[in-house]
Amino acid sequence: MNTTTTTPRIAIIGAGPGGLTCARILQRHGVAVTVYDRESGPGARNQGGSLDLHEDNGQIALREAGLLEEFFRLSRPEGQEMRQLDPAGTMLFHHTPDEGERFKPEIDRGDLRDLLLNSLEPGTVHWGHTLWSVEGPEEGPRQVHFDDGTAIEADLVIGADGAWSKVRRALSPALPAYTGVSFLEAWFHEVETRHPAIAELVGQGGAAAADGERGLFAQRNSGGHIRVYLIQRVPADWIAANGLTGDTEAIRAHLLEQYRDWSPALRRLISDNDGRYVDRPINALPVPHTWEPNPTVTLLGDAAHLMPPLGVGVNLALLDACELALALADQPTVADAVRAYEKTMLPRSTRMQELLDNGAEELLSTELPDFATA
């Protein structure tokens, strides 16, 4: 980018993996950038479960960020182990990674975020900034307003602010819609000593089962933790509609009734969890989700193409971030960079949205996807 006369003011909204990767690659190319995030700080909340970063997208971005070897040091290649079971607990498929296999090693979300945060120049991320709106003329500059009454000007606003992106409103009226499938997350801690049978069942990676109406996916995290996602075709408000709000024991009893025909070993993934359940209804953006070109606003990751959680979301977000940052570094103007980026990103995301449309239903199918190659 030609910065001999003026340096464009680039604001990234959202300090998730996509936003931080974009910032890191921009800084490696000498392009100034500021990231704004609504959380009060990097430790404000648990970042969630484990991610697999794929060789053909997520790892490409980390290589461009100069962080690939550090990622491999932090990752768990053994997490590529995958098991598919039937509701009776019979093993249908078992993938054990080969020695040195690096196609899609696992890393905890928190570890990935720390890796990216620590790679940035001090002061890059401004915490405690909840976006209110993006205003101003399409040709810029844009006024970025935060809910504390403060505002900044930017020549490019990058929406990396996830499923319910507020930056998206400047480009598209689209909102995520409920897919009809919901996850209920359960946690297990110190599994080798407190839950050895579950640790043995899940192995070092993940284990999945389904009966056509309901399913589950158990995922090993680092530090002796396992997260289990109970997958059901239910109304979005099923917990409140059944009078179960805030009542962990009542939710557990309800679930055990729903999964009553499953094996005792698998039912332990419902009955023996540590603490409460977390409701995670699965939403997705319309297919396809596109917008008219805009020289001063663009989107990446879930803000651009929220899809069912089938192993591609964070990988596409990192690839988006990489391609956008490289375009901003290489193209003569911001408008040229946005145009070049979206020319590649939008067709790619449309193809993937179409491929995964109704993909949440596949998680309930007795013909489970091959998690070893997905």
Give CATH 3.50.50.60 domain extents, the chain: 10-77+102-175+286-358
**Which pLDDT score is estimated for 47?**
60
User: pLDDT tens digit string along 124-168?
Assistant: 999 999 999 999 999 999 999 999 999 999 999 999 999 999 999
**Which pLDDT score is estimated for 270?**
93
H or E, element range at 331: none
**Which pLDDT score is estimated for 371?**
42
Q: How many CB atoms lie within 10 A of CB 208?
A: 21
**Which pLDDT score is estimated for 43?**
74
User: pLDDT tens digit string along 348-369?
Assistant: 999 999 988 877 777 888 775 5
Q: Name the maximum alpha-carbon separation found in the chain.
A: 70
Average pLDDT of the chain, as a whole number: 92
H-only helix segments in the chain: 17-28, 58-64, 68-74, 109-118, 191-194, 196-202, 238-241, 248-258, 264-271, 302-305, 313-330, 334-356, 359-362
What b/e sequence results for 152-168 when a residue is b if at least 16 CB atoms lie within 10 Å of its CB, and e otherwise? bebbbbbbbbbeebbbb
Considering only CA atoms, give the Rg of the chain.
Answer: 21
**Which pLDDT score is estimated for 91?**
94
Q: What pLDDT band is residue 200 in, cutting at 50, 70 and 90?
A: very high
**Which pLDDT score is estimated for 1?**
60
Contact yes or no for 218/228 (Cβ under 8 A): yes
**Which pLDDT score is estimated for 374?**
42
Q: How many CA atoms lie within 13 A of 89 on its CB side?
A: 15
User: pLDDT tens digit string along 17-34?
Assistant: 999 999 999 999 999 999
Strand order in the sheet with 151-154: 131-135, 142-146, 151-154
Spatial neighbors of 374 by CB under 8 A, at least 6 apart, are 310, 311
**Residue 77 Rama label (left phi>0; alpha psi -120 to 50; beta):** alpha
Class of domain 177-284: alpha beta
The token duo for 117 is 């945060």
User: pLDDT tens digit string along 266-291?
Assistant: 999 999 999 999 999 999 999 999 99
**Which pLDDT score is estimated for 165?**
98
**Which pLDDT score is estimated for 185?**
95
> Of 227, 207, 218, 212, nearest to 181 (Cα)?
212
Could you give the CA distance from residue 191 to residue 201 in angstroms, rounded to a whole number? 11
Q: Give me the mean pLDDT over the 170-198 stretch.
A: 96
Q: What pLDDT band is residue 44 in, cutting at 50, 70 and 90?
A: low
Q: What pLDDT band is residue 82 in, cutting at 50, 70 and 90?
A: very high
The token duo for 340 is 């070049």
**Model's pTM, two decimal places?**
0.93
The token duo for 353 is 């949205």
User: pLDDT tens digit string along 294-311?
Assistant: 999 999 999 999 998 877
Contact yes or no for 222/108 (Cβ under 8 A): yes
Q: Give me the mean pLDDT over the 208-228 stretch.
A: 94
Task: Write the CA distances from 1 to 22, 156, 298, integer angstroms.
Answer: 15, 13, 17
Residue % of the chain over a pLDDT of 70: 95
DSSP type of residue 5: S
Q: What pLDDT band is residue 45 in, cutting at 50, 70 and 90?
A: low
**Which pLDDT score is estimated for 5?**
44
Task: Write the CA distances from 52 to 17, 58, 107, 188, 230, integer angstroms.
Answer: 13, 9, 6, 20, 20
Q: Is the peptide bond before 141 cis (omega within 30 degrees of 0)?
A: yes
Q: Give me the mean pLDDT over the 60-78 stretch.
A: 96
Q: Give me the mean pLDDT over the 77-86 stretch.
A: 93
The token duo for 259 is 């999964």
Q: What SS3 class is residue 3? A: coil
> Of 290, 37, 286, 296, nearest to 154 (Cα)?
296
Contact yes or no for 167/255 (Cβ under 8 A): no
**Which pLDDT score is estimated for 99?**
87
**Which pLDDT score is estimated for 261?**
96
**Which pLDDT score is estimated for 359?**
74
Q: What SS3 class is residue 94? A: strand
pLDDT at 335 exceeding the cut of 70: yes
Contact yes or no for 79/218 (Cβ under 8 A): no
Q: Does domain 10-77+102-175+286-358 have CATH number 3.50.50.60?
A: yes
Could you give the CA distance from residue 209 to residue 87 in angstroms, rounded to a whole number? 6
The DSSP string of 10-28 is EEEE--SHHHHHHHHHHHH
Q: Phi, psi at residue 262, to the nearest 5°?
A: -80, 165
Q: Give me the mean pLDDT over the 76-97 stretch.
A: 93
**Which pLDDT score is estimated for 361?**
78
Residue % of the chain over a pLDDT of 90: 84
